[in-house]
Every structure is written in C-alpha cells, then in structure tokens.
C-alpha cells in the first residue's frame, strides 16, 4: 500500500486504494485483512480504513468478521457463474461502445497490456498475469465512455476479482498453448476495436467469456492434470476456432 497524502480526503484515498487492490486481485479469496495492518501500510489511522471498509462491505467486496476484522469473500461456483453471465452481457455491450469511442492512445495501452499479459503467462508469473488480464478487460470497459456500465462492471469485478486466480491456474494446455489461448481471444477483441467494428467486438468478448465460463465450471474438488485434461482439450479447440473466425472476419472486412 502507498502512504496516504493530502489534499484528497483520507477516506477517499483509502477507499480507492483498497478498491483497486481488490479489483486487481491483490488479495486471495478468504484472506483475512487486519484493519490496523492496512492502516499502518498506508500511514494513516484506523478510522478512514474502517470507513472505507464499511463502504466496501456494502458493495459486497469485503466481509466483516466478528472480531472487527475483514475478509475477502469466497464465491461459490454458482455465484461465480451468475456474475459471469451478467459480465458477459455487459462487457459485450461495453466493447461495442468502445469500438466507437476508443482512442489510438487507449488501443496502444491495451496492446501493451496484452503483451505484458502474454509474457507473464509465458513465464508462469500468474499473479502478474491476473492483474494484466483485469487491466485489459477494465480498460475496454472504461473506453465505452458509459459511466453506468463502468460502475456496474466494477462492482461485479470487486466481487469476483480474487477468484480470477483460480481461472488463470486452469488455462488449457502447456505454457505455449496458454499464451496462444489468451492471444487468440484478446487478439480478436483488439482486431475488432482497431476496425471500429462494434458487432465484432461484442462477438469477440462473448467468445472470450464462453471459454472462461467453461473453466469456471470445472469441479473445484478435482485435482491433478487428469481432472482438467478434457476441458483443456475442449477450450484449446475453442481458442483455435476463435482465432480462425477472427481471421475470416478480418479478411472479409478487407474485401
């Protein structure tokens, strides 16, 4: 955590820092957070941390413990799927709007984020990969210029973000295939944004979420390579089809 400095109100700074930390999956599901430790890391008293935490509890991004501590929520598979369904619709809509409003600078930022994501996956730096993936998707949402969509999506990400670590661990195949999996999906989204193709952007996001939802459906009690092999083969095939469809759309547009 960074030290809180004036002139911005301390509670606002603390809230934004905690919110961003949760959004970018800095905490694990079920992790217990100490209000005193958080306050010390930000160089502030416990009061603004408690006030910010109260707000985040209301937004269901944190849970209050009986000893006045905090805990990062642990979602059930059903809750995660429910959030996925809503995000799939809203982020598809956001991508469609982003195709109309996104700037060249924002596209460059997304490209850099995607490259960093692929490098992180390739090096098995999964914590960094999770953060880059979240930055990529949130960057697209913010490019929609819709304050309402951005607000709702951020609220959903606050609830779901810590669980993203689990999905990243279940990416299909060996490392090279995992990089290809990410590149195929995000590449299709970026191609549509560059062409200002709203429908293509919506379709690419939908395909990305369809495969991510497949990973979420895996039995959490299953362990080992054998438990996820069938899903890895299935999702690898879906990634290849996504890349092929993106190429076909691009060729069609050029004609």
Asked if residue 120 and residue 86 are part of one domain, the reply reads yes
Asked if residue 177 and residue 62 are part of one domain, the reply reads no
pLDDT at 3 over 90: no
pLDDT of residue 206: 95
pLDDT of residue 165: 80
Asked if residue 133 and residue 29 are part of one domain, the reply reads no
Asked if residue 179 and residue 90 are part of one domain, the reply reads yes
Q: What is the pLDDT of residues 56-106, one digit of tens each?
A: 999 999 999 988 789 999 888 888 889 989 999 999 999 999 999 999 999
CATH number of residue 22's parent domain: 1.10.10.10
Does residue 5 form part of some domain?
no
Distances (CA, A) of 236 to 83, 158, 211: 24, 28, 9
- Rounded mean pLDDT of 189-210? 96
Asked if residue 82 and residue 66 are part of one domain, the reply reads no
The residue ranking higher by pLDDT, 194 or 8, is 194
Asked if residue 31 and residue 143 are part of one domain, the reply reads no
The residue from 71, 96, 119 where one domain ends is 71
Report how far residue 168's alpha carbon sits from residue 171's, in angstroms, rounded to the nearest whole number.
6
Q: What is the pLDDT of residues 137-168, one digit of tens each?
A: 999 999 999 999 999 999 999 998 878 887 77
- Rounded mean pLDDT of 186-197? 97
Report how far residue 29's alpha carbon sits from residue 175's, in angstroms, rounded to the nearest whole number.
25
Does residue 198 form part of some domain?
yes
Split into its structural domains, the chain has a count of 2
Asked if residue 139 and residue 100 are part of one domain, the reply reads yes
- Rounded mean pLDDT of 127-141? 93
Asked if residue 83 and residue 56 are part of one domain, the reply reads no
pLDDT at 242 over 70: no
Asked if residue 48 and residue 105 are part of one domain, the reply reads no
Asked if residue 97 and residue 57 are part of one domain, the reply reads no
Among residues 141, 49, 152, the alpha carbon closest in space to that of 57 is found at: 49
Give percent of the chain above pLDDT 90.
58
Residues 6+ apart with CB under 8 A from 209: 84, 87, 88, 91, 92
Does residue 82 form part of some domain?
yes
Residue ranges making up the domain that contains 156: 77-254
Does residue 4 form part of some domain?
no
- Cis status, amide bond into 130, omega within 30 of 0: no
The residue from 71, 105, 124 where one domain ends is 71
Does residue 61 form part of some domain?
yes
Asked if residue 101 and residue 30 are part of one domain, the reply reads no
pTM, two decimals, is 0.77
pLDDT of residue 1: 73
Does residue 1 form part of some domain?
no
CATH number of residue 161's parent domain: 1.20.120.530
Asked if residue 60 and residue 81 are part of one domain, the reply reads no
pLDDT at 251 over 60: no
The residue ranking higher by pLDDT, 91 or 216, is 91
């Amino acid at each position: 955590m960074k030290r809180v400095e004036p002139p911005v109100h301390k509670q606002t700074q603390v809230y934004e820092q905690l919110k961003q930390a949760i959004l970018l999956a800095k905490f694990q599901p079920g992790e217990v957070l100490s209000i005193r430790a958080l306050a010390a890391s930000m160089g502030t008293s416990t009061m603004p941390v408690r006030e910010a935490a109260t707000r985040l509890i209301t937004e269901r991004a944190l849970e209050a413990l009986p000893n006045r501590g905090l805990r990062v929520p642990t979602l059930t598979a059903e809750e995660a799927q429910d959030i996925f369904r809503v995000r799939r619709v809203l982020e598809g809509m956001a991508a469609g709007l982003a195709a109309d409003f996104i700037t060249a600078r924002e596209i460059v930022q997304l490209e850099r984020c995607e490259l960093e994501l692929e490098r992180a996956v390739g090096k098995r730096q999964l914590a960094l990969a999770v953060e880059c993936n979240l930055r990529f998707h949130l960057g697209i949402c913010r490019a929609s210029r819709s304050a309402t969509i951005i607000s709702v999506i951020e609220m959903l990400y606050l609830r779901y973000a810590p669980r993203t670590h689990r999905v990243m661990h279940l990416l299909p195949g060996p490392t090279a295939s995992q990089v290809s999996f990410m590149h195929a999906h995000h590449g299709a989204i970026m191609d549509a944004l560059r062409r200002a193709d709203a429908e293509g952007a919506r379709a690419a996001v939908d395909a990305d979420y369809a495969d991510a939802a497949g990973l979420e459906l895996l039995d959490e009690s299953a362990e080992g390579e054998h438990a996820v092999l069938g899903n890895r083969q299935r999702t690898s095939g879906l990634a290849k089809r996504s890349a092929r469809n993106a190429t076909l759309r691009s060729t069609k547009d050029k004609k």
